[in-house]
Each structure stands twice: as structure tokens, then as C-alpha cells.
Amino acid sequence: MDQVVEEVENVKKELEETYKQTQEHIKSIHEYGKSGTTRLISEEKSSLPRLNGLAQDGMNLLQSLQFKLDLLAPQLPSDDQVEKTQSLAQSWKSQIQSLRLSLRNANLQAKANMRKAAQEERELLLGGGEESTVRRRNLQTKAGMTSAAESITESLRRTRQLMVQEVERSASTLMTVDESTGVLTKAESEYKGHRSLLSRTRNLLSTMQRQDILDRYHVIMTL
């Protein structure tokens, strides 16, 4: 098989696979936020940007593959293959544009789904019956857990701050001790130097005294 023909076939295959995956992401966005889902609305909100990101990545890849297919078409060995591939590239261009419109509509539907689900949730919480009571109790429990978690976090923050302050005080104390040790070491060194000087001076005085006595003795003996 010709190398260009083989590459065109690979691009076609990748286009089909990417298109299918992107359609699935758009379908998930369209169904997003509908009541009756097993996921919490807060969890849904965190996944919507991810779904949109995946869909956008898919369409960007489709556009890149379509452009590549359009470039490869004139390099095919026969005119018939060139014409068919160019026609296919234009067809993919139209499908990508249609897919972008589908993504836009899916996001509009997702917003409508979320508004409806939120309204149903409010009505259920404000209504009567056992289910409403259970839901309110669950919300209160979650609120209590959140408050407890915040309290623990604040306590940990204060503990950490106290530890930091204690470490800073300890570091300051150690620095003071180091400085004092340095001063004492210097004083000790100076003291040893002075003591050595005094010792040498005392020895010199003793020597001079002995020499003076000897000089006097010699003077007396010569008289």
C-alpha cells in the first residue's frame, strides 16, 4: 500500500474514533444535572468543566485531523482518490461545525437541568413528609460535619501558630546562648592572654631582681 494512502486511512480511522468519543462527552453534558441522578449536584458541578474540556479537546483534534486529511488528499496516487478524499475532508468540516453547535446546545440544556434539579430540591426540602425530614436531617448533619471540620482546622491552625512561635522563641534563645558562649570564649581567651603576660612579667621581674642582687654582690666584692 502506498504510504500516503496508508496515512490517509489512519487519519480516517482516528477521525471516526475521536468523533465517537466527543459525541459521548457532549451527550454526558446534555444529561448533566438531571434530577434522579445518583451523583450530588455539587459533584456534578465539579465535573462539568472537565466534560467541556474533554469535548473541546476532541473537537480540536478533529479539526487538526480534518486539516491533515485535506493536505494529504492531493498527494494520493489517483484522481479518483484525490476527489473522494477532498470531499470527505469537506464533509468532516461540516460535521465538526455541527458538533460545536451540539456542544453549545448541550451546555444550555445542562444549565436548564441544574436549575430544574435545584428547584425540585428546594421544594422537597420545604415540603412535608418523611423524605423531606430525612433530607433536612442529612443537610443538618452535613452542616454540622462541616462546622466541626472548620473548628478542627482552626484549632490545628492555632496549634501550628503556637508551635511556630515556640520554635522562633527557641531559635532566639539558642542565638542568645550562642552569642553569650562566644563572648565567654573570647573573654576566656583574653584572660589567658593576660595571665600569660603577667606570668612573663613576673618572671622578668624575678630575673631582674636576681641580677640586681648579683650586681650588688659584685660591687661589694670589688671594694
pTM of the model as a whole: 0.54
89 domain-assigned: yes
Summarize the confidence of residues 115-136 as an average pLDDT.
Answer: 69
Q: What percent of the chain has pLDDT over 90?
A: 40
Q: What percent of the chain has pLDDT over 70?
A: 67
Summarize the confidence of residues 46-58 as an average pLDDT.
Answer: 88
Entry field: residues in the chain? 223
Residues ≥6 apart with Cβ < 8 Å to 96? 59, 62, 63, 66
Residue 59 scores a pLDDT above 60: yes
**For residue 178, what pLDDT is reported?**
66
Cβ count near 102 (within 10 Å): 18
Summarize the confidence of residues 177-185 as an average pLDDT.
Answer: 69
User: Which residue range forms the structural domain that includes residue 75?
Assistant: 3-126
181 domain-assigned: no
**DSSP single-letter state for residue 36:** T
Residue 39 scores a pLDDT above 50: no
101 domain-assigned: yes
153 domain-assigned: no
122 domain-assigned: yes
Phi, psi of 97 (to 5 degrees): -60, -40
Q: Using CA atoms, how far apart are residues 173 and 176, in angstroms rounded to an integer?
A: 5
Chain segment 130-178, per-residue pLDDT in tens:
555 665 566 556 555 666 566 666 767 777 677 767 666 766 666 675 6
Domains contained in the chain, number: 1
Q: Which of 47-61, 71-85, 199-213 has the lowest mean pLDDT?
A: 199-213
**For residue 219, what pLDDT is reported?**
66
Summarize the confidence of residues 111-132 as an average pLDDT.
Answer: 74
147 domain-assigned: no
Residue 91 scores a pLDDT above 60: yes
185 domain-assigned: no
Summarize the confidence of residues 75-92 as an average pLDDT.
Answer: 94
SS3 94: helix
**For residue 88, what pLDDT is reported?**
95
Taking all residues of the chain, what is their mean pLDDT, rounded to a whole number? 79
160 domain-assigned: no
Q: Using CA atoms, how far apart are residues 58 and 31, in angstroms rounded to an integer?
A: 19
Residue 32 scores a pLDDT above 80: yes
